[in-house]
Amino acid sequence: MSKLFSKESPLVSPLNLNNPVAVQVLGICSALAVTSQLEPAIVMGLSVTVITAFSNVIISLLRKTIPNRIRIIVQLVVVATLVTIVSQVLKAFAYDVSVQLSVYVGLIITNCILMGRLEAFAMQNGPWESCLDGIGNGLGYALILVIVGFVRELFGFGTLLGFEVLPSSWYVTNGMMVMPAMSLIIVGCVIWAHRAINGEEKK
Amino acid sequence: MKALRKFFDNIKPSFEEGGKLHAFRSLYEGFESFAFVPNTTSRRGSVNVHDAFDSKRLMSFVVIALVPALLFGCYNIGYQNALAAGKLSEATFCGMFIYGLLAMLPKLIVSYVVGLGIEFTVAQWKKEEIAEGYLVSGIIIPLIIPVTTPLWMLALACAFSVIFAKEIFGGTGMNIFNVALIARAFLFFSYPSYMTGDCSVWVSADPILGFGYTALPDALTAATPLGAAAAEGFAGFDCPTIEAAVIGLIPGSMGETSVIAIGLGALLLLYTGVASWKTMLSVFVGGAATGFLMQSVGATEIEWWHHLVVGGFCFGAVFMATDPVTSARTEGGKWIYGLLIGFVAVLVRVLNPGYPEGMMLAILLMNLFAPLFDYFFVQSNINKRLNRAK
């Protein structure tokens, strides 16, 4: 159990030292698109976590039977199926959020983190490790999304999850925070802080 | 002068390593080297030739060149206030000027305190020499924003631009974008309702410390020439406005209105060789040519030369486009850089109804391309010489 939560385990390392967004700089596009408010950012993060976890497990189980030359297409089929399921679940149980996320749920298929984890981890490791790796990377991605969504909604709208935090009587909302350009700057600041704390990797 | 030198020499020991005020070393160095040319020379054995006209001296010439625009801006703030209050006949020149000065001064102070504060902190922290670039940016930022901008917004914009447009890239001389324009762009996109619109944005409406008047509510519905043009298709654009635009008694950002005051600054910059005449001229040529083209294809009714005197065109062309750090450095590059600034600025004004003024966007866009122009010109020179050597 102690090994499960150690710094190098597949579950914990993507949260900090090997974060998919802050260190590997993957999945930036959706981090810019869905983070103007906190709620879609959380839902998006959780959806990606579920999809990476299940797709990692499935591909890991199939890894010895997939012919090498067509592995990408097999991975895509698995991911696309899972994305469709998640998208339908969202439409059924959280319609408002799924409207807000619009095409970006469908575009999880093209999220670099998914294919990256499948190629780099699930094709070489057993299902249990792959499952942990998928959950860890999904949560690492969700963590950055939540930070960016928190800052952007707080300063861009003065609200958090729709509740007014900074009262509009004296707080002037910052229009730039709502623009995708600002989320790129915030992601940059998160990476800056991350490197300042952990030190730049020496390769 | 001697007394100042003596003063600097007297207090120097307390700022050196181990002195009481060592934490403010960069502050001391910044002010000393601003007042006097540093006494350091090249080490023996090297062949570097140092001119006493270093970058701090260069920056102070730009600041001097900005003074006419600054003083006229003060007067115009008071003039617009009196005009909006309907009391132009009883207002005195001095009263209007002092009113404008009182409106301008807090913004200058906030801009310098925030910007220089960040620069000094970074310099002290990285144990570097103080960079001089903010001396110019700090005076330009208040001149290119409306008089009613709240001070905290200005402070936020200065902090944003110094950190994200300058220090991140490595400080003065390394920035890709003009620092003052990034501050304005930040305000423009963050708080659009405070940066554009009718005269309630462009005219200060309340008395300050007993000077000035309270404006009549009706008087604040007029707009800047460009704002009116964007709203009404240049219907309200006649000759008196052009005369007023050349003199500068029109609503607008604090220092951008007067072509004459900016022209005085331009003469100084050109005479001392601080700004490149090629960049400056080509901005005007590009703007005029595009204005002429737009007029002849019927996209706009405005005369082509009107574009050059209204809005921030002159101010941008003289003080922003010629920024030695962010503009193109090759001689051919300067022409293309300037022409495209004029082209894009007029294009945005005419074709984009959302933005009445395009100068800021044009200069920022071309800042981005300036290194590319330089690269092409350097490469073509290299190729030419290689061919000659064959």
**Short-list B370, B351, B373, B347, CA closest to B359:** B347
- The residue ranking higher by pLDDT, B7 or B277, is B277
How far is the C-alpha of B283 from the C-alpha of B307, rounded, in Å?
12
Report the run of H or E that residue B88 belongs to, with start and end.
none
Name the interface residues of A facing B (CB cutoff 8 Å). Answer: 172, 174-177, 179, 185
Cβ burial of A21 (10 Å; 0-12, 13-18, 19+) is buried
Which region among A63-72, B27-36, B68-77 has the lowest average model confidence (pLDDT)?
A: B27-36
Closest-approach residue (CA) in chain B for A174? B190
Question: Is residue B248 situated within a structural domain?
Answer: no
**Is the torsion defined by CA of B209, B212, B216, B218 positive or negative?**
negative
For residue B384, the model assigns a pLDDT of 93
User: Between β-strands A163-164 and A159-160, what pairing exists: parallel, antiparallel or unpaired?
Assistant: antiparallel
Question: Is residue B321 situated within a structural domain?
Answer: no
- Tell whether the model's pLDDT for residue A19 goes beyond 60: yes
CB contact under 8 A, B190 and A185: no
- In this prediction, residues A144-153 reach a mean pLDDT of 92
How far is the C-alpha of B98 from the C-alpha of B211, rounded, in Å?
7
Domain enclosing residue B92, as ranges: 23-36+56-214
- The residue ranking higher by pLDDT, A114 or B47, is A114
Q: Are B282 and B338 in contact (CB under 8 A)?
A: yes
- Would you state the structure tokens that stand for residue B294, as one six-digit string? 């737009």
User: Residues of chain B with pLDDT > 90: what percent?
Assistant: 32
How far is the C-alpha of B129 from the C-alpha of B122, rounded, in Å?
10
Alpha helices in chain B (DSSP H): 2-15, 25-35, 55-85, 93-126, 134-143, 151-160, 179-190, 192-195, 199-202, 225-232, 239-247, 259-272, 277-296, 306-309, 313-315, 331-351, 359-389
- ipTM exceeds 0.85: no
Adjacent-strand bridge partners of A164: A159
For residue B179, the model assigns a pLDDT of 92
- Tell whether the model's pLDDT for residue B19 goes beyond 70: no
For residue B235, the model assigns a pLDDT of 46
- Tell whether the model's pLDDT for residue B91 goes beyond 60: yes
Name chain A contacts of B164, Cβ cutoff 8 Å.
185
- The residue ranking higher by pLDDT, B3 or B232, is B3
Which region among B55-64, B98-107, B368-377 has the lowest average model confidence (pLDDT)?
A: B55-64
Name chain A contacts of B192, Cβ cutoff 8 Å.
175
Interior CA angle at A63 toward A58 and A66, to 5°? Answer: 105
Adjacent-strand bridge partners of B198: B223
Report the run of H or E that residue B172 belongs to, with start and end.
none
**Short-list B274, B347, B362, CA closest to B312:** B362
Query: Best of A173, A174, A177 to disrupt the B interface by mutation (most B CBs within 10 Å)?
Result: A174
- The residue ranking higher by pLDDT, B55 or B137, is B137
For residue B199, the model assigns a pLDDT of 63
Average pLDDT, chain B: 82
Q: Are B96 and B197 in contact (CB under 8 A)?
A: no
Q: What is the DSSP letter of B215?
A: P
Name chain A contacts of B190, Cβ cutoff 8 Å.
174-177
Average pLDDT, chain A: 86
For residue B130, the model assigns a pLDDT of 73
Domain limits, chain A: 27-197
Query: Residue A203 — very low, low, confident or very high, per pLDDT cuts 50/70/90?
Result: very low
- In this prediction, residues B302-327 reach a mean pLDDT of 86
- Tell whether the model's pLDDT for residue A65 goes beyond 80: yes
Question: Is residue B108 situated within a structural domain?
Answer: yes
Name chain B contacts of A172, Cβ cutoff 8 Å.
153, 191, 194
CB contact under 8 A, A174 and B192: no
**Short-list B287, B322, B289, CA closest to B307:** B287
Q: How do residues B215-243 score in pLDDT, each as one tens digit?
A: 666 555 555 666 665 555 454 455 456 77
SS3 assignment, position A163: strand
Cβ burial of A199 (10 Å; 0-12, 13-18, 19+) is exposed
Question: Is residue B88 situated within a structural domain?
Answer: yes
- Tell whether the model's pLDDT for residue B43 goes beyond 70: no
- The residue ranking higher by pLDDT, B87 or B318, is B318
**Short-list A144, A136, A147, CA closest to A14:** A136
For residue A94, the model assigns a pLDDT of 84
pTM of the model: 0.84
Closest-approach residue (CA) in chain B for A179? B189
Q: Are B80 and B104 in contact (CB under 8 A)?
A: no
- In this prediction, residues A45-60 reach a mean pLDDT of 92
Name chain B contacts of A174, Cβ cutoff 8 Å.
190-191
SS3 assignment, position B208: strand
Closest-approach residue (CA) in chain A for B150? A172
- Tell whether the model's pLDDT for residue B250 goes beyond 60: yes
Residue among A175, A179, A185 minimizing CB distance to B191 = A175
Name chain A contacts of B194, Cβ cutoff 8 Å.
172
CB contact under 8 A, A179 and B164: no
- In this prediction, residues B382-387 reach a mean pLDDT of 93
CB contact under 8 A, B164 and A175: no
- Tell whether the model's pLDDT for residue B119 goes beyond 80: yes
User: Residues of chain A with pLDDT > 90: what percent?
Assistant: 29
Question: Is residue B342 situated within a structural domain?
Answer: no
